[in-house]
Amino acid sequence: MELDFERCYRAVDSRDPRFDGWFYTGVTSTGIYCRPSCPAMTPKRQNVRFFPSAAAAQGAGLRACRRCRPDAAPGSPQWDVRADLVGRAMRLIGDGVVDRDGVPGLATRLGYTERHLHRMLRAEVGAGPLALARAQRAQTARILVETTDLGLAEVAFAAGFGSVRQFNETIREVYGATPSEWRAGRSGRQPAGGAGTLTLRLAYRPPLHAGALWDFLALRALPGVEEVRDGAYHRGLRLPHGPGTAALAPADGHIAATLRLADMRDLAPAVARCRRLLDLDADPLAVDATLADDPALAPAVAAEPGVRLPHAVDGFELAVRAVATQQVSLRSARTTLTHLLAAARSADDGPLGGLRAFPSPTELLAAPDAAFRMPGARRETIRALARAVDDGELNLEPGGDREEAARSLAALPGIGGWTAGYVAMRALGDPDVLLATDLGVRRGAAALGLPDDTKTLHAYADRWRPWRSYATIRLWRAA
């Protein structure tokens, strides 16, 4: 990835937070790296290098700045948007795949050789998959050291390190201090929330229209799986090592997240999925600038800046919900799904109490016909979807290939253009999907004085590229 020195230096000199996560500033005279908005004195040009990732800065022998905490910056928005090999790899690394399956497992999921994957990541982000995973492990370990009373050996293995020695060496290299020094110097204790409970801040690029996000999620909340109460969104999570729950609430400049985990090794994937659900790594200024160029959308963008595209914590769950919503209202679909959930009990029910994860494909396949209060054809569509995911023929994970997933979805009976588009937009994170046949989209278009017939609206929407998914959300709000 080529980083223009002058543009990057101007961003650092102005301490522009919009560029946090886009790149990192290495200061060779002090041996540290910072986020662009670091409040420290701007370093001299001859002492500055720019890096596309924290892992690349660490690979150059630099340690993280203790003042601006560059590892706590929002992630680069490209990794959610891009559908190529590097974007898919970065999403999977963020979900902890390297820690669980190693680089061979990551390469297998992506369908490329380890050598080619390493070469592509080095070219784009300045570090290979092991270095990127190491940087993420260091960040996870810092959070655990500062916010829990876990023993340091427990922190090491929960963060994904193979040994306590590796953990100590990495923390010393990345942060310039030992884990015990970090714990001794932590500023305050987090409120006690019980074993396996963590409270942390999720950063984002402003602006963020939290009301639009919470309205969207509340309208679609499934009882027993998710709910919005007291200003916070709560939901159950199915994580690689066990169940979990998340409570997410907007706060002053960040999202306050309270996570309850059966296994602390699931911290990194839980955070990644919550960030993805709320679209926290997006660049709202870039999105809004494009949409505001259309006079029809400009007033809405000015009135509600920072409207995000809610994604999903579970691609299969989102796909099932999309099928259940075909040709019925959201209220009717929620009733149907609530009955299905009561019959398809999850194996993860109960350990943490309260909310549970959406059933897995295997659990839905085991549900009797009576659990599906819907037309028989739709029931069989859901079962075909579950079989395809269970057999590995359909990949709806964050690192899945969007084009391949679209082809696999189209091959299933009962999956039409609307359903495939909705899954692409929310489960796979495609930022450029317009659901032109959607009744709510057409009503929203009519409310804004736009053409509301499918063909004309589709042609008109070319001016919203590459952010037509965000335009779809705004049209729904206008409806």
Tens of pLDDT, residue by residue over 127-154, are 999 999 999 999 999 888 888 888 999 9
Rounded Cα gap, residues 136 and 152, in angstroms: 17
Could you tell me which of 90, 65, 54 has the C-alpha nearest to residue 272? 90
Q: Which residues contact 346 (CB under 8 A, 6 or more apart)?
A: 238, 243, 356, 357, 358, 359, 360, 363
Side chain identity at 63, as an amino acid letter? R
- Separation CA 190–CA 236 (nearest Å): 22
Low-confidence ranges of the chain (pLDDT < 70): 1, 186-195, 345-353
Question: What would the two tokens of residue 180 be?
Answer: 């015990």
Provide the strand spans (E) within 91-250. Answer: 197-202, 226-229, 232-239, 242-250
How many DSSP H helices and E strands does the chain contain? 23, 9
The burial of 108, by beta-carbon neighbours within 10 Å (0-12 exposed, 13-18 middle, 19 or more buried), is given as: middle
The CA-CA-CA angle for residues 222, 223, 225, to 5°, reads 70
Q: What is the pLDDT of residue 192?
A: 41
Nearest CA to 364 out of 415, 316, 413 is that of: 316
What does the DSSP 8-state code read for residue 411? T
pLDDT score of 327? 87
Element (H, E) at 357: none
Look at residue 351 in the predicted model and tell me its pLDDT.
47
What pLDDT does 149 receive?
A: 83
Q: Report the residue count for the chain.
A: 479
Q: Which CATH number fits domain 315-430: 1.10.340.30, 1.10.150.570, 1.10.10.10, 3.30.565.10?
A: 1.10.340.30
Domain map of the chain by residue range?
Answer: 5-71, 78-147+149-184, 197-262, 315-430
Smallest CA-to-CA distance from 433 within 309, 329, 277 is with: 309
Query: Which parts of 254-355 are beta strand (E)?
Result: 255-261
Q: What is the pTM of this model?
A: 0.92
User: What is the DSSP secondary-structure string of 241-265?
Assistant: TEEEEEEEEE-SSSEEEEEEESSGG
Strands 255-261 and 242-250: antiparallel
Beta strands in 177-314 (DSSP E): 197-202, 226-229, 232-239, 242-250, 255-261
Catalytic residue positions, numbered: 34, 438
Q: How many CA atoms lie within 13 A of 166 on its CB side?
A: 12
Q: Of the CATH numbers 3.30.70.20, 1.10.287.890, 3.40.980.10, 1.10.10.60, which one belongs to the domain with range 78-147+149-184?
A: 1.10.10.60
Q: Could you tell me which CATH number the domain at 197-262 has?
A: 3.30.310.20
**What is the fold of 5-71?**
DNA Methylphosphotriester Repair Domain (3.40.10)
All residues at 6 or more sequence positions from 320 whose CB lies less than 8 Å from its CB, including other chains? 337, 358, 364, 382, 385, 386
Residue 191 has a pLDDT of 46
pLDDT of 185? 72
> Which stretches of 176-238 are DSSP H helices?
179-184, 210-219
Scored b (16 or more CB within 10 A) or e, 296-319 reads ebeebbeeebbbbbbbbbbbbbbb
Which residue type is seen at 105? G
As a whole number of angstroms, the distance between CA 205 and CA 210 comes to: 12
327: left (phi over 0), alpha (psi -120 to 50) or beta: left
Return the pLDDT at 100. Answer: 93
Residue 88 CA to residue 420 CA, distance in Å, equals 19
pLDDT at site 195? 57
